[in-house]
Structure 1
Amino acid sequence: MPELARHIVIDHEREKLLIDGTELPWIISEDGPIPSVEPGDGVARVTVTLFADKVEVVGTPKLPAPAGRDDRGDIRTFEGQGALIARKRDTRADVQAWRDMSTKPRFIAMYDAALAVFDAEEANRG
């Protein structure tokens, strides 16, 4: 089973991405790696766009389980334990706008899950 990376360095000054001290040897998109949580805040996630001559996709992406709020009030997949969808400060209108702009089925499903959280909260207030 693959191991969790121990240390990822996103060096914007040198335009390098290092994983456990080893520089990623492939070209990365101009917008670079995007961390989804701040360092030191549990297990961090990093999104990286790599370029390739050929991409093979096997199977279909798994859709997230129902979303929920985490202990900080952010909306995450897997009932508040998974990937970040929206921060506590984001509104239903924000998430709806992101969904309307998205073209990827996986992201649309995540936004739909977050919208369901907002709808359930509104129903509980009413």
Structure 2
Amino acid sequence: MKINGVIFFLGCHSLEKINEFYQGFLGLELFRDQRNCRIYSVPSGGMIGFCEHLPVEAGTLSPIMTFLTEFVDDFHEKAIKLGMAPDRPSINEKFGIYHFFLKDPEGYRVEIQKFLD
């Protein structure tokens, strides 16, 4: 007996806006479109799903979805060009990371990050 995968589900108001952000901006692959839910594959494993029938509980400090990349600055520039309002990229010495935060169309906190070691 073993676990074969994981999907993290969040509520949303607009699957189209979610798709623009997660597939269009982040480049995640759409794994399954279930009409009122969409599930995206995350490279290196796992999936994230958004459903219009689930409540949206954004605007707090958690949850945070962190996406790992070596191209933090490129994603930051892309976010600005698309009219998003990302935080300025910075080094967090406590955790040994280079990162920035922005919000997705539903207000969930998204972190774009790379490990420095």
Q: TM-score, normalised by structure 1?
A: 0.33
Which of the pair is proportionally richer in strand?
2
Larger Rg over CA atoms: 1
Which of the pair is proportionally richer in helix?
1
Q: TM-score, normalised by structure 2?
A: 0.34
The structure, 1 or 2, with the larger RCO (C-alpha pairs under 8 Å, 6+ apart) is 2
